[in-house]
Copies of this chain bind each other. A is one copy, B any other.
Amino acid sequence: MKTAPAIEVVLSEGPLGPEDAVRAPGAGAIVAFEGVIRPTEEGREIAAIEYEAYRPMAENQLESLARAAADRFGLAGVFVRHSVGVVPVGECSFRLVVASAHRAPALEGMAWFIDTMKRDVPIWKRPVFKDAQEQSR
């Protein structure tokens, strides 16, 4: 008997904190992806990224994507965290943790999830440029 995959989606305000250890019984591979705000965007220095989500839909879509990834790649668990609001440079705004019996489906499922998310999940980002911030002071 195969247990149902563990699925968890959380949108939260501001930078993501560290993750508690993921426990997925029987999983042999746990892969965690973290997206961190880089210091430049389009060649300009930024202070932060501001994320705007169409929230109920973003949550629905992330959850159905997580289920689809679990089905398609036979994953034991898919855990998604995404920031909304302002996330400063160097902070984490997105975390995806995938648990799986073996390595290959975990890595493939992760790549598939992120690619699909970029297309299908209504979360938009807007750079907060450093110079704009200085001008507005």
* Chain A residues within CB distance 8 Å of chain B: 18, 21, 25-39, 90, 101, 103-104, 106-107, 110-111, 114
A28 and B33 within 8 A (CB): no
From A21, A26, A106, name the one whose CB has the most chain B CB atoms within 10 angstroms: A26
Chain B residues contacting A106 (CB-CB under 8 Å) are: 33
Complex: A76 Cα to B38 Cα, angstroms: 13
Chain B residues contacting A101 (CB-CB under 8 Å) are: 38
**Cross-interface CB contact of A36 among B29, B33, B36, B114, cutoff 8 Å:** B29
Chain B residues contacting A30 (CB-CB under 8 Å) are: 33-34, 36
Shortest distance from the beta carbon of A87 to any chain B beta carbon, whole Å: 12
27 A-B contacts (beta carbon < 8 Å):
A18-B21, A25-B90, A26-B38, A27-B36, A27-B38, A28-B35, A28-B37, A28-B38, A29-B33, A29-B34, A29-B35, A29-B36, A30-B33, A30-B36, A31-B31, A31-B33, A31-B34, A32-B32, A32-B34, A33-B103, A33-B106, A38-B101, A103-B114, A104-B111, A107-B107, A107-B110, A107-B111
Chain B residues contacting A110 (CB-CB under 8 Å) are: 107
